[in-house]
């Protein structure tokens, strides 16, 4: 009886000062007190400063008249629009450059990354030089290089450089023919959607049949025919409604067509080139991470080299590639805020202007932070979905 009581007794810790639980509670309480005191002090200062500067806090300023122009906007905007709309224009511009940049960077990155693993010495060296150059210089410098070093010294509109398909390149940007969709062109888009849906259906059926019977079906060619053929058919049936508005050269400027500003162009090119170098390294690491035994086993089973790549190497490499690829996409999105240095009106630039005009520093920075956080979360969520599809299914 007595011995049991001794066992149940808590071991002596000397003083309660040495008890980890007490210590942990004490430190956390200390942190909370310090934090609350700090926040309270800052809040007091902010309130005092705002009343001194006669600035009303809150997000009501978003409804005020902006009064400044934005050079590029995907939605209708004038200086009479509200501050809220100005920030929205910036957000859309950020999203545009991020999406286009991510697509281009992925393509260049995969090409360079695979090139670094090529058996061909020359290709390998060229790709290595590309990666080592772009990885080691600041993205802002690359942006300036495209902007002031390349695009600003192009000829003026009078001596524009002619490019294929009726496009032009000059100081004021890149001009290409604008597509004009005539009556009945909605049929083409419907046909495209139908084509994609049918291709997906065919791929599913073919997969099921192969699983059940082992018979293969030429999915790739059927889908291509469906996705390309149906819209073409619709195009012909609806009486060729598509025409182009070509840019025309006049004395001082180009008229018509679609103009891509040098600001957008340099930001887009710089972000793509810069991020591609990092993606290339990720792709290289991913492919090298698939052990040689996998390739050899696939060859022993009798797969051809194309099938080995498609069915064995790439799916396994993608598992290694996708998580770091996601963080590169996030980096590209965040780096697009460098646009402010060359005057492309992205979110940081427009929100910065709003912030300077209204003095609503706290709200302005909060909006910026919130939007970038949301953009990051959305990108992560999409990539996590892709990752979940790719991940190894384990029991």
Partner 1 sequence: MQEHDMSWVRTEMALAQPAPASVRGMGAWVRTNLVGSVGDAILTIIGIALVAMILPQIINWAFINAQWTGPDRTVCATVAQGGIQSDGWSGACWAFVNAKFGQFMFGTYPIEERWRPIVVAILFVALLVPMLIPRIPRKGLNAILLFLVLPIVSFVLLVGGTFGLPHVETSRWGGLLVTLSLSFVGIAVSLPVGIVLALGRRSKMPIVKMLCIIFIETVRGIPLITVLFMASVMLPLFLPAGVTFDKFLRALIGVSLFAAAYMAEVIRGGLQAIPKGQYEGADSLGLGYWQKMGLIVLPQAVKLVIPGIVNTFIGMFKDTSLVLIISIFDLLGIVKQNFSDANWATPQTARSGLVFAAFVFWLFCFGMSRYSMYTERRLDTGHKR
Q: How far is the CB of 69 from partner 1 (least distance, A)?
A: 21
User: What are the distances in angstroms from CA 101 to CA 132, 134, 230, 276, 338?
Assistant: 20, 16, 30, 10, 13
* Interface with partner 1 (CB under 8 A), residue from 37, 137, 179, 228: 137
* Interface with partner 1 (CB under 8 A), residue from 32, 237, 378, 382: 32
**Site residues for partner 1, window 351-390 (CB under 8 A)?**
352, 355, 361-362, 364-365, 368-369, 372-373, 376-377
Residue 46 interacting with partner 1 (CB under 8 A): yes
* Interface with partner 1 (CB under 8 A), residue from 348, 350, 353, 354: 348
322 in Cβ contact with 388 (< 8 Å)? no
**Site residues for partner 1, window 174-233 (CB under 8 A)?**
none
- CA 37 to centroid of chain Cα atoms: 39
Residue 252 interacting with partner 1 (CB under 8 A): no
96: nearest Cα among 375, 328, 355, 341: 375
| Residue in the structure block whose two tokens are 């929100």 | 351
Exposed / middle / buried, residue 122 (Cβ in 10 Å: 0-12, 13-18, 19+): exposed
Q: Which of 191, 342 has the CB closer to partner 1? A: 342
Longest dimension (CA), the chain: 108
d(CA 381, CA 385): 6
Residue 139 interacting with partner 1 (CB under 8 A): yes
Query: 3-class SS at 173?
Result: strand
Residue 107 interacting with partner 1 (CB under 8 A): no
Torsion angle defined by CA atoms of residues 346, 352, 354 and 355, in that order, rounded to the nearest 10 degrees:
160
d(CA 160, CA 237): 38
* Interface with partner 1 (CB under 8 A), residue from 37, 40, 74, 132: 132
Residue 157 interacting with partner 1 (CB under 8 A): no
d(CA 200, CA 211): 17
Residue 31 interacting with partner 1 (CB under 8 A): yes
Q: Which of 188, 349 has the CB closer to partner 1? A: 349
Q: Which of 199, 368 has the CB closer to partner 1? A: 368
Enumerate binding residues for partner 1 (CB under 8 A). 24, 27-28, 31-32, 35, 42, 45-46, 48-50, 52, 118-123, 126, 132-133, 135-141, 144-145, 148-150, 152-153, 330, 334-335, 337-338, 340-341, 348, 352, 355, 361-362, 364-365, 368-369, 372-373, 376-377
């Amino acid at each position: 009886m007595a011995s049991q009581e001794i066992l149940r007794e808590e071991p002596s810790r000397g003083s309660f000062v040495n008890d980890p639980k007490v210590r942990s509670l004490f430190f956390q309480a200390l942190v909370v007190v310090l934090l609350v005191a700090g926040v309270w002090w800052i809040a007091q200062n902010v309130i005092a400063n705002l009343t001194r500067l006669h600035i009303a806090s809150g997000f009501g300023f978003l409804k005020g008249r902006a009064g400044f122009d934005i050079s590029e906007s995907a939605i209708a905007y004038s200086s009479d629009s509200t501050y809220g709309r100005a920030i929205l224009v910036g957000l859309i511009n950020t999203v545009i450059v991020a999406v286009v940049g991510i697509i281009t960077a992925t393509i260049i990155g995969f090409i360079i990354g695979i090139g670094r693993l090529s058996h061909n010495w020359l290709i390998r060296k060229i790709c290595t030089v590309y990666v080592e150059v772009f990885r080691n210089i600041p993205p802002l410098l690359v942006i300036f290089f495209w902007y002031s070093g390349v695009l600003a010294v192009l000829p003026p509109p009078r001596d524009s450089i002619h490019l294929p398909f009726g496009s032009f390149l000059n100081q004021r940007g890149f001009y290409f023919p604008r597509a004009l969709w005539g009556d009945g062109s909605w049929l083409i888009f419907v046909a495209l959607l139908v084509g994609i849906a049918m291709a997906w259906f065919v791929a599913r059926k073919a997969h099921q049949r192969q699983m059940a019977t082992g018979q293969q079906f030429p999915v790739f060619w059927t889908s291509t025919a469906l996705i390309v053929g149906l819209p073409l058919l619709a195009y012909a049936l609806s009486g060729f409604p598509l025409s182009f508005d070509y840019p025309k050269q006049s004395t001082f400027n180009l008229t018509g067509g679609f103009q891509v500003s040098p600001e957008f162009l340099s930001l887009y090119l710089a972000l793509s080139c810069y991020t591609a170098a990092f993606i290339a390294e990720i792709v290289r690491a991913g492919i090298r991470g698939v052990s040689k035994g996998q390739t050899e086993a696939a060859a022993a089973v009798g797969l051809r080299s194309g099938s080995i790549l498609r069915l064995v190497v790439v799916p396994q490499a993608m598992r290694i590639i996708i998580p770091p690829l996601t963080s590169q996409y996030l980096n590209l999105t965040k780096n697009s805020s460098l646009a402010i240095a060359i005057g492309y009106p992205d979110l940081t630039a427009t929100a910065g202007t709003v912030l300077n005009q209204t003095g609503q520093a706290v709200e302005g920075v909060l909006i910026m932070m919130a939007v970038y956080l949301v953009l990051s979360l959305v990108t992560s969520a999409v990539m996590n979905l892709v990752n979940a599809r790719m991940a190894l299914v384990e029991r």
